Structure 1
Amino acid sequence: MDVRRLELLRELAERGSITAVAAATNRTSSAVSQQLKVLEREAGIPLTERRGRGIVLTGAGRMLAQTATDVAVALERADALWNDFKQAPSGDVTLTIFPTGGQMLLPGLLTAIRDVAGLTLDCSDQDPLLPDFADLTPDFDIVVADAPAILPSWRERGLAVVPLMTEPLDVALPEGHPLSEKKSLSPRDVIDETWIGVPAGFPFDRILRQIETANGSPARVMQRFVDNGIVESIVAAGHGIAILPRFTTRDHENGLVTRPLTGVRAVRKISALMRPDRAERPSVRLVVEALRTEAARFQAEHETASAG
């Protein structure tokens, strides 16, 4: 079977439609369909089937798409070994990240790799409203995502997942709030408070759901915002309290104080997600290792500052 046709089948498995595959591979939809039909003839069994107005992979198609991934990984590994042999990692690497993750990790990362000859890192940030950052892995070499834990869906997609850091989520209060006298806060402490929240379903909102469950009563949410800076300003002005990430919240600088939350699991895990073949590239491996080093440095530095 032709490796290029196998790759089209893999793209269909990940992108979900002929139109999306065509756009991603700079082909026409008819050209993609024709190549998949040739592959189906080579396989000798149906690889796709009609469903509604589109097509989906059959069981055999999904199995062959996984084989295409295995082939791509093997080719990237072979190419990586050769590149390691003949030269230092080089080339273009694309990375995308959620906003507060970029605030924490990108300055140090860019400093760490700026003197690597022949390596270009192209960074971007993404709207945090995106339901699953793993959906970006077909279009970027490295996707940095946050979640309460490593999601099963990431493993089910066959992605390479590299844990980077764990960030606590704290309760943010306006300075002078009676609860600021406590060193930590429990769900019972905040049962009667007004909250400034995030959109439903966001990681921080899941913490609020845990607080509701622990208290057996709904939380009173006055406003919801995506941008943490807006949340900080409204809390500082005395309009409520909020769940905010520890390392990027500017407490004591803008009228805020933060306190750890006890009795619920209040953390977010930050991870690098990649297609497994791209994870084999020397240039991508170098950037991920630099990311891990920067995440460890950043976390240690801020934990030391918090302890002090």
Structure 2
Amino acid sequence: MLEVRRLRLLSEFARRGSIAATASALGYTPSAVSQQLAALERETRVALLDRTARSAELTDAGRRLAERAEQILTLVEEAEAELSAEADAPTGRVVVTAFPTAAVAFAPALARSLGDHPGLTFVLRQTRPSDGIRQVQSGEVDIALVDDWTGKLADQSPAALKFFHLRTDPLVLAVPASHPMSDPQRAVDLQELREEPWMAAPPGEPSRQAVERLLDTVGGARPVPWEFEGLHTILSLVARGIGITAIPALALAAGDRGVAVRDIPGVTLAREVFAVTRAASVRRPSVAVTMRAIYAAAQEVSAARTEPGE
């Protein structure tokens, strides 16, 4: 009989493409992964991996079994979810991963809400959206909070994942509280701000691309932004009067008294924020109650924004 644990290793190997990456993702040593996959080959009496001195890849039989393994693992999780749905209260451990601004914005509301469930252990980690989706798919985490600037993320993701829309997060202008544009009675004019010291995330980051698209709307050569890792770092510099920025509104949830926020007329640049989980795990009480808490946290953060320009 095939072991579910070994099938999970094979499925993960099919996604990662190497023994080392599989071991790193699941918390094993490369030697342990190799030994377990070899044991799976002995169980099936079929060569599943084509090994060389430096690498390994799936054989045709290995690819077919990896596809079946995905189906089997989904069925196992659905069975576990049906059994746990009989429980009166959510229990166990739920691991959520989030992009940094969502983690900071949602954490207070989640802590308050999930504190009503003493049998539930809640873990919140920060990671990149692409890593979060991969970790949900592999079973490393239960829920991922991800952002999408393209409008295509949900359509391009595996069918085994379920996306729940939480909010639209628009790009807003953030200036020092002492800046003339902090006056809500004054019209926001991007042309007037072109020569200001702009700050943004490094090239390649979605928020940086949004800033560049914003500056493109005023034509001509756009100013070169100062680059800093982390939206909260950028906001702290805005508060100190060092420069200005355009930033997703969710990044302002932590609050900064030295920053004034203005909507940008005529600009529709925004990202969509989703909670992603495996479709098979939605019925688990622990996941269901956490999803409800996440949705409530997203609405609370949305309602709490009352800065100038709203």
For normalisation by structure 1, the TM-score amounts to 0.80
* Partners of 1:32 and 1:167 in 2: CA distance: 44
Is contact 1:113-1:287 (8 Å) kept?
A: yes
Give me the whole-angstrom Cα distance separating, in 2, the residues matched to 1:185 and 1:213: 16
1:102 matched residue in structure 2 = 103
Specify the alignment match of 1:203 in structure 2.
206
Kindly indicate whether residue 234 of structure 2 is the aligned counterpart of residue 231 of structure 1.
Answer: yes
Matched AA of 1:151 = L
1:81 paired with 2:82, answer yes
CA contact (8 A) 1:278 1:284 kept: yes
- Contact 1:207 1:264 (C-alpha < 8 Å) held by counterparts: no
| Aligned ranges 1:66-77 → 2 under 5 Å | 66-77=67-78
1:35 aligns with 2:28: no
Q: Tell me the equivalent position of 2:173.
A: 171
Give 3-state SS (helix, strand or coil) of 2:122's partner.
strand
1:292 aligned to which of 284, 291, 295: 295
Question: CA shift at 1:99, angstroms?
Answer: 2.8
Select the residue among 246, 265, 268 that pairs with 1:265.
268
Superposition pairs of residues 241-260 of structure 1, within 5 angstroms: 241-249=244-252, 254-260=257-263
What displacement does 1:241 show?
1.3
Q: Is the 8 A contact 2:170 2:268 kept in 1?
A: no
8 Å Cα contact 1:150/1:269 also seen in 2: no
Any residues of structure 2 matched to 1:107-256 within 5 Å, and which?
A: 107-126=108-127, 132-137=131-136, 138=138, 139-148=140-149, 149=151, 151=153, 155-156=157-158, 158-181=160-183, 185=188, 187-249=190-252, 254-256=257-259
SS of 1:112 mapped into structure 2: helix
Equivalent AA in structure 1 for residue 143 of structure 2:
I
Matched residue count: 302
Flag the 1:239–1:98 CA change in 2: closer, same or farther, 3 A.
same
Whether the aligned pair in 2 keeps the contact of 1:141 and 1:284 (CA below 8 Å) is: yes
- Tell me which moved more, 232-241 or 150-159: 150-159
Q: Distance in 1 between matches of 2:188 and 2:78?
A: 49
Task: Give SS of 1:238's match.
Answer: coil
Gap regions ≥5 residues in structure 2: none
Q: Shift of residue 168 of structure 1? A: 1.8
For the residues of structure 2 that align with 1:9 and 1:252, how far apart are their CA atoms? 45
For the aligned residue pairs, the C-alpha RMSD in angstroms reads: 3.4
> What is the CA–CA distance in structure 2 between the aligned matches of 1:260 and 1:51, rounded to whole Å?
58
AA aligned to 1:133 is G
| Change in CA separation of 1:280 and 1:178 when aligned onto 2, cut-off 3 Å | same
Q: How many angstroms apart in 1 are the aligned matches of 2:23 and 2:215?
A: 46
Q: 1:54 to 1:189 in 2, by over 3 A?
A: farther
Is the alpha carbon distance of 1:239 and 1:87 closer, same or farther for their aligned partners in structure 2, counting shifts above 3 Å?
closer
Q: State the alpha-carbon separation in 2 of the partners of residues 264 and 48 from structure 1.
A: 52
Give how far 1:263 is off: 4.2
Shifted more, 236-245 versus 194-203: the winner is 236-245
Paired with 1:179 and 1:306, the residues of 2 have a C-alpha distance of 10
Shift of 1:291: 0.8
Q: CA deviation at 1:40?
A: 6.1
Distance 1:248 1:150 in 2: 22
Local SS of the residue matching 2:110? helix
| Alpha-carbon distance, 1:210 to partner | 0.9
Residues 45-92 of structure 1 deviation map (CA, whole Å, 9 limit, x = unaligned): x75556994334467655543432222222222222222224322111
1:14-57 deviation line (CA, Å, top 9, x unaligned): 33322333452646133133134346645xxx755569943344
Unpaired runs of 5+ in structure 1? none
Q: What percentage of residue pairs aligned between the two structures are identical? A: 29
Give the Cα separation in 1 of the matches to 2:210 and 2:165.
Answer: 21
| 1: CA distance, partners of 2:61 / 2:218 | 49
Q: More deviation in 29-38 or 245-254? A: 245-254
1:2 alignment partner in structure 2: 2
Change (3 A) 1:292 1:167: same
Is the 2:98–2:145 Cα contact (8 Å) retained in structure 1? yes
> CA offsets per residue over residues 234-274 of structure 1, 9 Å max, x none?
22343321012324438995332221224443222222233
